[in-house]
Amino acid sequence: MTQIKLIATATFGLEAVVKRELQNLGYTDLQVSDGKVTFKADKKAIPRANLWLRSADRVLLQVGEFQALTFDELFVKTKALPWDDWISLDGKFTVNGKSVKSKLFSISDCQAIVKKAVVERLKQKYAVDWFAETGPEFTIQVALLNDLATLTIDTSGTGLHKRGYRREAGAAPLKETLASAMVQLSYWNKGRLFLDPFCGSGTIPIEAALIGRNIAPGLSRKFASERWPGIDQTLWKEARVDAFNAIDQETNIKIIASDIDPKVITVAEENALQAGVDDCIEFSVKSFTEAKPRKKFGIMITNPPYGERLGKQKEIAEMYKALGQIFRIEPTWSVYVLTAEDSFEKLYGGKAHRKRKLYNGNIKVNYYQYYGERPPPKELNS
């Protein structure tokens, strides 16, 4: 099967997680740069990557890449690309753009030129002067960085964080892709107890359960490229069947999630049911001070309220101090906290073993990681 080049885009700080996910899918020809992981594969990778990637934002098909210093150069080189290999006669396509540190800085002009070049290419291919654009959707992006133009088509459609299970969310929802990355950056596995005492609408525990059950995160949604005639429908069917067959229904997974707000717990329970992991998660309404179980060697992964979200700095500070008083005395527990509060370590009462800079939407956050003692083998699945 012909090789193509794909780009898995990622939020800043999650590139290494996405790379590891692609490696686990069997892809080895990987290039990592800011905000993306580029890899070569065959067409089978389009459904597989869209179905399985947990922390990537989108999967883009790279149609071409070249230097563009003038608008004429952008037009000629864009027109020379094989757009007709992908865009059908009835295809509906739009062009998005971005430009960073490039001579062609007018995004609207770049978009218009690329649109015109693609139309001219398709006119030659299909011998028509007008396109109905009533068929499958193709979202083209022209991205210019240091005068290098990268032309792609979005294979995902709606962003990959839209799993399809979250019917409602709290006032400050955490993206599913970031929640999944938080779990993957921890030492949790499906044999260890998992705790989220600030679970909100349940995103972190649900993503953990999806990982534990080995459920492909895109299994319950549709993708733009499913309607593309250039991708054989059997590839999508095979990828979905393989994903269904890969689900682990046997392992006993123990995830405990709680929140002080009964309304969000109701939402979380509904979301877990929609995701098909309600049997993995025990939800309850309680304060975080009551949430820690007595069992040893647990993993707490949480996104507690922080001042930028709620505007209650004093209340938040006291909450973080109390959290530290509860968990710092438990040497077997590993604690992972995502927050925008820069003074978290001081409030919590200890320096993290590792701190990662991430982004929750447009908010800069830190992921504080405190490692507990390693559990003996007999503790797993007990």
- The domain locations on the chain are 4-154, 176-215+222-379
Are the C-beta atoms of residues 231 and 225 closer than 8 Å to each other?
yes
Supply the DSSP symbol for 251: S
pLDDT of residue 361: 86
Quote the distance between the C-alpha of residue 95 and its chain's center: 23
pLDDT of residue 294: 80
d(C-alpha 95, C-alpha 170), whole Å: 33
Q: pLDDT digit string (tens) for 54-84? A: 999 999 999 999 999 999 999 999 999 999 9
Q: What is the mean pLDDT of residues 151-173?
A: 87
pLDDT of residue 2: 85
Q: For the chain, what's the residue count?
A: 382
Residue 114 in this model has a pLDDT that exceeds 70: yes
pLDDT over 90, % of the chain:
87
List residues bridging with 358 in a β-sheet.
365
Q: With bands split at pLDDT 50, 70 and 90, how would you rate the model's confidence at 362?
A: confident
Quote the distance between the C-alpha of residue 306 and its chain's center: 22
pLDDT of residue 351: 97
Residue 309 in this model has a pLDDT that exceeds 90: no
Helix (H) or strand (E) holding 117: helix 107-126
How does 255-288 read in b/e, with b if 16+ C-beta sit within 10 Å? bbbbbeeeebbebbbbbbebbbbbebbebeeeeb
Q: What is the mean pLDDT of residues 205-228?
A: 97
Are the C-beta atoms of residues 182 and 301 closer than 8 Å to each other?
yes
Residues 6 or more apart whose Cβ sits within 8 Å of residue 20: 184
Report the top-level CATH class of 4-154.
alpha beta
Residues 6 or more apart whose Cβ sits within 8 Å of residue 208: 183, 188, 194, 255, 301
Q: With bands split at pLDDT 50, 70 and 90, how would you rate the model's confidence at 307?
A: low
Residue 211 in this model has a pLDDT that exceeds 60: yes
C-alpha dist (Å) from residue 176 to 100, 134, 186, 202, 208: 28, 32, 16, 10, 10
- Selected from 3.40.50.2300, 3.40.50.1000, 3.40.640.10, 3.40.50.150, the CATH number assigned to the domain covering 176-215+222-379 reads 3.40.50.150
How does 24-59 read in b/e, with b if 16+ C-beta sit within 10 Å? eeebeeeebeeebbbbebebebbbbbbbbbbbbbbb
d(C-alpha 327, C-alpha 306), whole Å: 18
Are the C-beta atoms of residues 178 and 11 closer than 8 Å to each other?
yes
Longest dimension (CA), the chain: 74
Query: Six-digit token pair at 43?
Result: 């067409």
pLDDT over 70, % of the chain:
96
pLDDT of residue 92: 94
Q: In what order do the strands lie in the sheet with 281-285?
A: 281-285, 255-259, 194-196, 299-302, 334-339, 363-370, 354-360
3-state secondary structure 314-326: HHHHHHHHHHHHH
Residues 6 or more apart whose Cβ sits within 8 Å of residue 107: 97, 98, 99
Residue 47 in this model has a pLDDT that exceeds 60: yes
Residue 1 in this model has a pLDDT that exceeds 90: no
Higher pLDDT, 42 or 166: 42
d(C-alpha 163, C-alpha 360), whole Å: 17
Q: What is the mean pLDDT of residues 236-260?
A: 97
pLDDT of residue 176: 97
Q: What is the mean pLDDT of residues 351-374?
A: 95
Residue 107 in this model has a pLDDT that exceeds 90: yes
Q: What is the mean pLDDT of residues 96-103?
A: 96
Query: Six-digit token pair at 11?
Result: 């939020």
When the pLDDT of each residue in the chain is averaged and rounded to a whole number, the result is 94
Residues 6 or more apart whose Cβ sits within 8 Å of residue 74: 68, 104, 110, 113, 114, 117, 142, 149
C-alpha dist (Å) from residue 164 to 223, 238, 319, 330: 12, 21, 32, 37
